[in-house]
Every structure is written in C-alpha cells, then in structure tokens.
Chain A
Amino acid sequence: MGVQEKLDNLIVQMINENQETLKNNWLKEVKLFKEKELVGTTLKFSEETDQQFFAMLIKHINFHDISKDGTLDDFFDQVLHTGLPLSYLTQGLQAARRVVLNLLVETENDKEKVSAVYREIDRWLDPILNRVVENSSQIWERTVSVQKTALLELSAPLIPVFKNISVMPLIGSIDTERAKLIMENLLNGVIKYRSEVVLIDITGVPVVDTMVAHHIIQAADAVRLLGSTCILVGIRPEIAQTIVSLGIDLSLFPTKSTLQKGMENALEITNQQLISNK
C-alpha cells in the first residue's frame, strides 16, 4: 500500500510539474489528429473542448476517480452533442498516454521507476477509457432499442376503413420479425374489427422476394381460415414482373393494382356502396 501511494505521488508530481509542457504537446497531438480526421467540423468549438478534456484528465489524477461520479459522463454528452466522433475521445486518451510516456522517458533514467510509473499511467487512464467504451456502447444500445420499438410501432397497423373492411399498408423492407408482427396484427385485427375483407397494400415495399411473398401468402392463407378475404393491392408493374420471374404463385387470393380498385372490390364483396351526395 505504501509503495503504491508513493508511486502515485511520483506520477502526480511529475504531471503537475510539467503540466504546461504536457498540455502543449497534447494539444499539438490532438490538433494533428483533428486535421487528419475531422475535416469540416467546427474547430472553434472543439478547441474549447480540448481545454476541458485536458483539465478533466488533470482533475482525474489530482482529486479522485472521476470515471464514476458523473463528471466524465457529462463531458461525453457534451462531446457527442457537438458532433465530435468517439475516436476523438479515444485518440485524445492515447495522445495523453503518449505525451506522458515521452516525458517520462526523457526525464527518468531508472528503469524500475520507469516501468512502475508506466503501470501507474495505465491505472490513471484505463478507468477513463473503460468508461468511454461503456458509455458509448450504452448510448448506442439505447438508441438502437428505442428506434427498434419505434419501428415496430410503425410496422404493421391494421386500419378499419369501412364496415367490415380494413387496410394494412406496408411500407419499407420486411424482415422475419416484421413478418411475424404483420401476421399477428392481421389476425387480431380481423377478429377485433370483424373484417370481412382485408386489403394488404404493398405499394411501399421496395423488394418482393420469395421470403416476403412467402410471408404474405401465409398471412393471406391464415386470414382465409378465419373466413375473411385478403386482397393484395399496390403491386407495381416491375414487382409484378419479378414475381412472375421468380415463379411465385399468387393465384390463391385476389390481387389488384391499386388500393382504390381493391377498395371497390371490397365494397362489392361486403354489399356496400359509396353514394355521392349531389
């Protein structure tokens, strides 16, 4: 324990005594990195951030472990909000390690001492680096999961339009997870709204490959088992051609080119009529 403290003091002393030199060297390194990597970002803002970054490293070594008390997290938020990439933080930390090591090698000749201080440098910077990685991966995970939920909510709505007629507009790529959701919403919705006819609109689906077709066929089949009719609408000419080339058989259920035509068909099936009010 005693030895540890002494070494700690040694590096703290070394860094504090040479703070200005270290800072200048560090700023130079960071500037170099920024010139190479961050072309086009607002550099004025970043220089302020550089100063804060270094001050933070110094604070970390002088007072206490700031990787846990939130100071670091606040700084990250700020950095990421200004649009600086994560590599700015990691490169900055690596630069800090480099400048301190350079100084150490220049001023200290005792090999034992050098390796001891080297270990202390690791102890100084590693918690910060760990926190950087942890924090950023957490941010990403949160963003991804939020977007995933948002996407699922938008994914496959079944909209009751007229009595016994519902529409499911599909927009975007369909993957396995979404296909499951489509099936669930479709079947639950058919029961809930007592739909006799469901129109599935694929105008917004960019690619209809065998998997997408397979899922649509299965969904339509399931709807048929509930005693309702499924009409596939919004088939663009190029999609029609690829479906034919793929050799997919869609003859089991009716298809229409547009939602409007499908709706007319659906009204017919349910014995309803739209009367204009003239």
Chain B
Amino acid sequence: MDIQSCVEVRNEWDIVSARQLGRNMAKELGFGNVDQARITTAISELARNIYLYAGRGKICIEPIDQIGRKGLRIVALDNGPGIREIRKVMEDGYTTSGGLGAGLPGVKRLMDEFSIESTVDVGTEISATKWLR
C-alpha cells in the first residue's frame, strides 16, 4: 500500500473533506472507533491551522506499512508565514487567534509521533503518525 492522498485546503469545506479522507483511510486500515476519532480530530486541527494562519496548503495522508507494524501518517504542508516560536506554540493555552490554544499540543497527544518544522516566511511542515495496535 503505497498510496498517498492529498487534499488542498483553501476554505472551511476543505477541512471537512480532509477529515473525511482521513476517516476513510483509518477505517480501511482497521483503526478502532476511538483512534478514528483521534485521527480525524488531529486532521481537523491541522487543516484548520492551515486555513487560519497560512490561508492555503495541503493535508496528505498516507498509510505506513513497515515490518511488524502498520500506521497512518498525516502531513500538513503550507507556504504560510511560518511559526516564530515553536516552543510557545506547543504550550497549552497559547493562542494568537483567540482560540483555545489547544490545537498543536492536542494533536501531539492525540497521535503517537509528532514532528514540526517551520521557517519564518517560508512555511510549515507538520507530520504526525498513529500506529495500529
């Protein structure tokens, strides 16, 4: 299974389609109800961040099949303004948009692996993986 699917995020409706894609793939891979909810919620957060801060970008979702374990990886890409203080963004309650400030730290808790790379004025790439147990 080497299929990777991407959804362009330009408006709020694209967030829904990214979510739907993630849910379908998670279901196909055999994730349970709770993990499906975790994955879709994580996608929702990442896609909304793209929509809110970068304006446009894309969410790619790929199944991972390594020896011994399977999983699902979400990659969020954008060419937006980038994140100046990554450490702060990963703190609970830090927000620049008046939201709850739980998005990124929340995604980290919802998923098993999490990495973030961001360059100011160039863009942000966030990758998060959930393993199938």
B67 within 8 A of A: no
B68 within 8 A of A: no
Q: Are A246 and B19 in contact (CB under 8 A)?
A: no
CB-based closest 4 A-B pairs: A246-B106, A238-B37, A209-B44, A175-B12
Give B residues with C-beta under 8 Å from A.
12-13, 15-16, 19, 33-34, 36-38, 40-41, 44-45, 48, 92, 99-100, 102-103, 105-106, 109-110
A272 within 8 A of B: no
Interface-centre pick from A214, A237, A238, A239 (highest chain B CB count, 10 A): A238
Separation in Å of the B25 CB from the closest CB of chain A?
A: 15
- Interface secondary structure of B, over-half rule: helix
What separation, in Å, do the CA atoms of A175 and B51 have in the docked complex?
Answer: 12
A71 within 8 A of B: no
Q: Are B92 and A209 in contact (CB under 8 A)?
A: no
A102 within 8 A of B: no
Separation in Å of the A179 CB from the closest CB of chain B?
A: 10
Q: Are B37 and A214 in contact (CB under 8 A)?
A: no
Q: Are A207 and B12 in contact (CB under 8 A)?
A: no
Separation in Å of the B17 CB from the closest CB of chain A?
A: 10
What separation, in Å, do the CA atoms of A38 and B38 have in the docked complex?
Answer: 40
Q: A238-B38, A242-B37 are in contact. List 10 more A-B contacts (CB 8 A).
A: A175-B12, A207-B19, A209-B45, A210-B99, A210-B100, A217-B100, A237-B33, A246-B103, A246-B109, A247-B92
Contact pick for A242, options B15, B100, B105, B110, CB 8 Å: B110
What separation, in Å, do the CA atoms of A33 and B106 have in the docked complex?
Answer: 50
Knowing A206-B40, A209-B45, say if A238 contacts B33 (CB, 8 Å). Answer: yes
